[in-house]
Each structure stands twice: as structure tokens, then as C-alpha cells.
């Protein structure tokens, strides 16, 4: 459910006409819907009402400060994976006791910043990381609250590149080693063992992998408690998929909630969630303008002004995004396009052999479901400026990240004096 709909054949973002927005801001740009972001947070929280979980939004999905501020006002915490994301979460007003820190390669500086801030939990992914965190915490006279991220060896996720819970993935502590490492953590003076953490993948389309992983975890938790570890929290990660338009809809958050409640009720733990895509994915679109229509020998190309540097998901994960005209033309014939950007890479495409209405140069198209893993993964490849992010709220809009000027784009570069 989102707030991007046609009114009399014109696409609106809430009550804002997307064509008027394009005239004001200049294509290409992202648009986020505040009402959709709030709604998704509320659906999630309602599904777990009464359980008092920590819903820690996965900041890497969409880290714009305005977006974080909206989610914070709905009670969200943050799951961060870098020192920069930690600073963003704090700047957006998210309390440290609602922040968890994940990731396989936390540096000492990042750990120190998080210890100084007093975050809720470190999700530790390896023995050397645990050692480093213990040593650092001792030197600061602190104790770091820790959950070990365990790897349940379950295959899950919509693509090889977003599956994280298999043996061969770089994430987490191997299942066979978890108990031993917990015993070490229990005896470390700089570590406070607080719970268990998992995150098995992303864009997960059915409940079976969650069920497999969380059932296994129940057994682990009783073993750990028998070993004298304090396990008060269970962080179940993120990963619930969203409909992108090409496949059957993933389970509703209510079904996901029912399963998790059923599996975790006997465990007596506080639940932590790290949803990213589920909150932000369908709350954003990417608006782009057609530059040329090129009739190739074998294919017809719709060449648009956005590119893989603005939205890399199709190139990186073969991701599907629905692409729709911003102004509907009922008379337009159906055709088949490869929708591509101007970047000099064959992987610069948004859709291949896509059936859609004919479009012409100057027309605007909306690439749907681009609110998660979109703007955050953008680069300035081909010296293309980062594109604006716009927030709409009812009839209002605001540019929440503007397009940099050429001078700003090159401001960090220097030419040595011998040149
Ligand atoms: C990416 C990530 C998430 C969010 O995943 P979604 O599929 O967007 O819900 C949560 N936790 C961790 C540790 C992650 O790396």
C-alpha cells in the first residue's frame, strides 16, 4: 500500500502532481511519500502491539535525515552498519538506546563512537571482532552490550547477492561455533552478553526460511542459557520482501508477525527487528525523462535520463521495477522496450524486453518501488550529479537532498603542484 496513484490520468505523489514536481525540481529525481513511510511503520508496530519490540529501521535502506526523522517520530530505532550511519541516526534524533550496530568489519574508531554514544547493542559477527570490542571496552572502562550474529545456514532471499544466512556467506558466526564463542563472551570483562542476533537475507518472499531459522534459534537459546549466558533479547533482523510487481506478493507483515510471535513466545525475550525494504521500498519512486527512443536492429531502446548510478538494483541484483508513464496516454500503442540509461556500461538498464505503452522523448516515467536501496547506492559515475531526493506530505513537498553543482562535485579533488 502506497500513495502514488493516478488522478485523471496524471500520476500524483500523495496530493502533489508529479509532472509539476518535475518542472520544479528537474528530472531525474527521487520522490518519497511521508504518509507511506508512516503507514509502513505503523503496520509493523501494530502487528506486534503489546510485545514492546524495538523496531530498528535498517538505515542502509534509506539514510536521508528527513526520512530517519519521520521514522523516529513513529518510534523507530536504527540498525546501523557504519560510523557514518550511526552519526546520521543520532542527528535525526534517534535515541542511542534504540540503536543497534551490525556489520562484519566495524573499525575501532566506529566501535568507540558507538560505545561513547551508549548504543543498545553491538551485533558481533566474528571472534576477532569480539576480542577487539572487549579490549576497547576495557580500555574505556565500559562494557559493550553484545549479541552474536549467528548464521543458521538457511538459504533465503530474492537473489544470490542478498542471501546472507548460508554457510558460505561472510556474515555471522557459524552455527557450530556459536556456543563456544558465547562461552568466551560470557567470561569477558568488557562484554555484556544480552542476546542472539540473526539476519538471513533480503527480499524474502515466503515464511519458510524464517520458520527454519527461528526454530533452530530456540534450541540455541536454551543451550546458551544452560551455559550461563544471559539471553534477554532476540534480534530477528530484517529481510521481509515487498511486491515489486513481477512476482506474487510476499507474506503480509501480519502473517510474518504471527509466525514470529508463535516461535518466540516461549523464549521470554525482547524482540528486535531490523526492517529496511519493508518500510521504505514502496514509499519511493524515481522519476525520469525520456531522452531518445532508439530503434535498434533487434530491440527498441527507451533511453531515459536516469541511469545505473542513480539506481543500481537492476544491474546489481537483476531487480524488477515496474515502470509507468507519469501521464497516461490512453491512445498509446503497446510496445516492448529495453529501458536504459546514458551510462557507458551494458549493465546500465532498468528493464529488458518490457511490455509497456509507447513513449516519446520528453515524456516522464516513474520507476516504482525505489525508496529502498536506491538513492543510498547512488554514485557520481560518469560525473553525473547525485539526483535530488524530494519528500511529499499531503500537498506539500520539500527537496531533502539537492542536486550538487559541478563545482561541488569536484570540490574534494586536488591537482598536485607538479602538474
Ligand atoms: C540490510 C540489512 C537489514 C535490512 O534488510 P531488509 O531486507 O531491507 O529488511 C537488516 N539487518 C541487517 C544486518 C542488514 O544488513
Evaluate if residue 380 carries a pLDDT over 90. yes
Would you say residue 344 lies in a domain? yes
Would you say residue 415 lies in a domain? no
288 with 268, same domain: the answer is no
Would you say residue 196 lies in a domain? yes
- In ligand 1, which atom is closest to the CA atom of 239? 7
191 with 338, same domain: the answer is no
Task: Write out the residue range of the structural domain in which residue 21 sits.
Answer: 4-32+281-409
Residue after which a domain boundary falls, among 278, 298, 327:
278
Instruction: Return the pLDDT at 1.
Output: 67
**What is the C-alpha end-to-end distance of the chain, expressed in Å?**
56
Closest CA to 307 of 381, 376, 357: 381
Would you say residue 355 lies in a domain? yes
Identify the active-site residue in 49, 226, 297, 344: 344
| % residues pLDDT > 70 (the chain) | 97
47 with 170, same domain: the answer is yes
- Least confidently predicted of 8-22, 52-66, 245-259, 260-274: 245-259
pTM attached to this predicted model: 0.96
Output the CA 151–ligand 1 centroid distance in Å.
14
358 with 239, same domain: the answer is no
Q: For 66-76, write each residue's pLDDT tens digit.
A: 999 999 999 99
* Phi, psi of 46, rounded to the nearest 5 degrees: -65, -35
Would you say residue 217 lies in a domain? yes
d(CA 372, CA 353): 24
DSSP H/E element including 147: strand 144-151
Instruction: Return the pLDDT at 269.
Output: 97
Kindly report whether the peptide bond that precedes residue 323 is cis, defined as omega within 30 degrees of 0.
no
The pairing of strands 233-235 and 389-393 is unpaired
d(CA 408, CA 419): 22
Residue after which a domain boundary falls, among 252, 278, 304:
278
Q: Which residues are annotated as a binding site?
A: 239, 274-277, 313, 317, 345, 373
* Cα of 198 vs its chain's centroid, Å: 16
169 with 297, same domain: the answer is no
The mean per-residue pLDDT over the stretch 95-115 comes to: 98
141 with 243, same domain: the answer is yes
Task: Give the model's confidence band at 192: pLDDT under 50 very low, under 70 low, under 90 confident, else very high.
Answer: very high
- In ligand 1, which atom is closest to the CA atom of 238? 9
98 with 219, same domain: the answer is yes
Q: For 291-320, write each residue's pLDDT tens digit.
A: 999 998 999 999 999 999 999 999 999 999
Average pLDDT, rounded, for the chain: 95
Would you say residue 223 lies in a domain? yes
Output the CA 64–ligand 1 centroid distance in Å.
16
114 with 214, same domain: the answer is yes
The pairing of strands 29-33 and 284-295 is antiparallel
- In ligand 1, which atom is closest to the CA atom of 123? 13
Residue after which a domain boundary falls, among 256, 278, 300:
278
Evaluate if residue 382 carries a pLDDT over 80. yes
Evaluate if residue 408 carries a pLDDT over 70. yes
The mean per-residue pLDDT over the stretch 348-362 comes to: 97
253 with 127, same domain: the answer is yes
Q: Which residues are annotated as a binding site for pyridoxal 5'-phosphate?
A: 239, 274-277, 373
How many CB atoms are located within 10 Å of the residue 116 CB?
11
The set of protein residues with a Cβ atom below 6 angstroms from ligand 1 is 58, 60-61, 79, 102, 199, 202, 237-239, 274-278, 372
Instruction: Return the pLDDT at 328.
Output: 96
Q: What is the CATH number of the domain that holds 171?
A: 3.20.20.10
Dig out the grid coordinates for 49 from the structure. Answer: 502491539
Instruction: Return the pLDDT at 248.
Output: 81
Spatial neighbors of 71 by CB under 8 A, at least 6 apart, are 37, 41, 57, 279
Evaluate if residue 84 carries a pLDDT over 80. yes
Q: For 130-169, write each residue's pLDDT tens digit.
A: 999 999 999 999 999 999 999 998 877 666 666 676 777 7
Q: What is the CATH number of the domain that holds 367?
A: 2.40.37.10
Q: Which residues are annotated as a binding site for substrate?
A: 277, 313, 317, 345, 373
Contact 185, 142 (CB under 8 A): no
Per-residue burial over 325-357, b = 16 or more CB atoms within 10 Å of its CB, e = otherwise: bbbeeeeeeeeebbbbbbbeeeebbbbeebebb
DSSP H/E element including 80: strand 77-80
Dig out the grid coordinates for 121 from the structure. Answer: 547493542
Spatial neighbors of 47 by CB under 8 A, at least 6 apart, are 253, 254, 256, 257
Total domains in the chain come to 2
Instruction: Return the pLDDT at 32.
Output: 98
Task: Give the model's confidence band at 10: pLDDT under 50 very low, under 70 low, under 90 confident, else very high.
Answer: very high
Mark whether 229 is an active-site residue. no
Would you say residue 208 lies in a domain? yes
292 with 219, same domain: the answer is no
Instruction: Return the pLDDT at 2.
Output: 86
Q: For 260-297, write each residue's pLDDT tens digit.
A: 999 999 999 999 999 999 999 999 999 999 999 999 89
211 with 178, same domain: the answer is yes
271 with 361, same domain: the answer is no
Per-residue burial over 188-213, b = 16 or more CB atoms within 10 Å of its CB, e = otherwise: bebbbbbbbbbbbbbbbbebebbebb
Output the CA 24–ligand 1 centroid distance in Å.
34
Output the CA 236–ligand 1 centroid distance in Å.
10
Instruction: Return the pLDDT at 159.
Output: 67
Closest CA to 56 of 80, 38, 32: 80
- In ligand 1, which atom is closest to the CA atom of 275? 9
In order of 54, 80, 82, 248, 316, the CA distances from 99 in angstroms are: 9, 7, 12, 33, 29
Spatial neighbors of 358 by CB under 8 A, at least 6 apart, are 329, 332, 333, 334, 335
| Closest C-alpha to ligand 1, atom 10 | 238
Would you say residue 41 lies in a domain? yes
The mean per-residue pLDDT over the stretch 88-102 comes to: 98
Amino acid at each position: 500500500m502506497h500513495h502514488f496513484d493516478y488522478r485523471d490520468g496524471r500520476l500524483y505523489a500523495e496530493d502533489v502532481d508529479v509532472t509539476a514536481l518535475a518542472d520544479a525540481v528537474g528530472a531525474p529525481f527521487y520522490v518519497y511519500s511521508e504518509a507511506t513511510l508512516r503507514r509502513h511503520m505503523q503496520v509493523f508496530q501494530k502487528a506486534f502491539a503489546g510485545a514492546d519490540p524495538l523496531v530498528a529501521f535498517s538505515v542502509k535502506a534509506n539514510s536521508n535525515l528527513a526520512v530517519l526523522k519521520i521514522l523516529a517520530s513513529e518510534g523507530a530505532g536504527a540498525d546501523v552498519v557504519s560510523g557514518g550511519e550511526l552519526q546520521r541516526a543520532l542527528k535525526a534524533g534517534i535515541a542511542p538506546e534504540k540503536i543497534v550496530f551490525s556489520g562484519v568489519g566495524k573499525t575501532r574508531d566506529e566501535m568507540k563512537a558507538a560505545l561513547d554514544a551508549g548504543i543498545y547493542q553491538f551485533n558481533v559477527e566474528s571472534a576477532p571482532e569480539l576480542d577487539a570490542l572487549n579490549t576497547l571496552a576495557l580500555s574505556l572502562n565500559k562494557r559493550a552490550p553484545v549479541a552474536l550474529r549467528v548464521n543458521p545456514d538457511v538459504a533465503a532471499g530474492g537473489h544470490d547477492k542478498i542471501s546472507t544466512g548460508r554457510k558460505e556467506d561472510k556474515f555471522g558466526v557459524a552455527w557450530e561455533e556459536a556456543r563456544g564463542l558465547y562461552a568466551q563472551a560470557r567470561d569477558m570483562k568488557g562484554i555484556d552478553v544480552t542476546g542472539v542476533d540473526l539476519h538471513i537475507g533480503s527480499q524474502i518472499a515466503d515464511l519458510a526460511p524464517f520458520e527454519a531459522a527461528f526454530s533452530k534459534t530456540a534450541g540455541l537459546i536454551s543451550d546458551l542459557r544452560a551455559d550461563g549466558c544471559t539471553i534477554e533479547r532476540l534480534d530477528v533482523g530484517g529481510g521481509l520482501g515487498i511486491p515489486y510487481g513481477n512476482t506474487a506478493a510476499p507474506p503480509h507483515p501480519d502473517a510474518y508477525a504471527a509466525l514470529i510471535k508463535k516461535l518466540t513466545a516461549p523464549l521470554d525475550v525482547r524482540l528486535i527487528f531490523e526492517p529496511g525494504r519493508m518500510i521504505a521500498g514502496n514509499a519511493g519512486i524515481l522519476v525520469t525523462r525520456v531522452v531518445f527512443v532508439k530503434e535498434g536492429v533487434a530491440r527498441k531502446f527507451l533511453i531515459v535520463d536516469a541511469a545505473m548510478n542513480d539506481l543500481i538494483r537492476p544491474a546489481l541484483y537483476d531487480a524488477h521495477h515496474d515502470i509507468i508513464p507519469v501521464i497516461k496516454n490512453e491512445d498509446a500503442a503497446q510496445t516492448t522496450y529495453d529501458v536504459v540509461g546514458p551510462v557507458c556500461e551494458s549493465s546500465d538498464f532498468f528493464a529488458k524486453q518490457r511490455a509497456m505503452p509507447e513513449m516519446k522523448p520528453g515524456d516522464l516515467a516513474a520507476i516504482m518501488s525505489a525508496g529502498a536501496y536506491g538513492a543510498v547506492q547512488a554514485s557520481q559515475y560518469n560525473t553525473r550529479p547525485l539526483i535530488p531526493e524530494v519528500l511529499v506530505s499531503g500537498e506539500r513537498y520539500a527537496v531533502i537532498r539537492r542536486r550538487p553543482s559541478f563545482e561541488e562535485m569536484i570540490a574534494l579533488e586536488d591537482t598536485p603542484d607538479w602538474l
